[in-house]
Amino acid sequence: MAENNALSGQVAIVTGASRGIGADIARVLAREGMTVIACARTMEEGDFHIPGSLRSTVDSINSAGGKAVAYRCDLSKEEQINELWEFAVREFSHVDALVNNAAIAVPGTIETMSWRHFHLNLVIDVVAPVLLSRLAVAHMRQLGRGAIVNISSGASRGPGRGPYKRTSVGGTPYGLSKAALERFTQGLASELWEDNISVNAMSPARQIYVGGTIYVTQTNPTYSVGDLAGKRKDGTIMGDACAAIFRADRRQFTGVVSTDEGVLTELTGIKTFDHYATY
């Protein structure tokens, strides 16, 4: 674990940390000296049909000498979001950083997706980050500092204008939610910059083929991952970019909507990323 690190002793909440990008972000932040509150619905392996659990994430962190606790939370329920924050403040007294990573991507077009799934998509991908950020803002103002990172996606950019060469077969609801998250990011950032609280959004520059992404592409014929060549095997780069944001000047680096590579280039000067594993 990191010593003499600017992040040592700080506390971060990471949602969606039972697998995939969220789990990798949690591991990197713990490696950098932060205490991580890993949040998700899946506490134990087998509780959900996709591999991964909070237990495995937290055990891997603690066995490596880091500090992490698991907290089971259904982000579709406001009362559980409130309870998560109350737990964090009660147990650790301060929360310095929030990573809104949890998301769902239910396959289907606007025409075919059920209202229940469309509503759930918006609740998890947009409403939950807003509710958590509201709690974070009140707390971070008292601390006099804080940082929020919202994990977005290239899907936010959409297919552009027509005429089109192929018909979209899904992804519009998910892209809609990520576009909303990015607009929320910059709006909140502009409200908070004088309070020494940064708010940024970040998406993978290359697709990270892990966790839920693997499940969706393997179980839904309308989604194709295409050629795996060049896709990343894990989300370590996202964790490194989060850590860089948390070290940055919060009044200067805020309201940024970028990629993991873009963040690292701007904040650390790194311009090549070959050391991050790809297929």
Amino acid identity of residue 6, one-letter, is: A
Tokens of 17: 């940390």
Query: b/e string for 139-157 if b means 16 or more Cβ within 10 A?
Result: bbeeeebbbbbbbbbebbe
Angle formed by the axes of helices 20-31 and 236-247, nearest 10°: 50
Alpha-carbon span 124 to 136, nearest angstrom? 17
How long is the chain? 279
Q: Which of 105, 74, 61, 98 is nearest to 207 (CA)?
A: 105
Catalytic residue, chosen from 174, 215, 276, 279, is 174
Tokens of 28: 């990197």
User: 209 catalytic, yes or no?
Assistant: no
Cβ-Cβ contacts under 8 Å for 116 (sequence gap 6 or more): none
Alpha-carbon span 43 to 3, nearest angstrom? 30
Alpha-carbon span 29 to 26, nearest angstrom? 5
CB neighbour class for 80 (10 Å; exposed up to 12, middle 13-18, buried from 19): middle
Which residues are known to be catalytic? 174
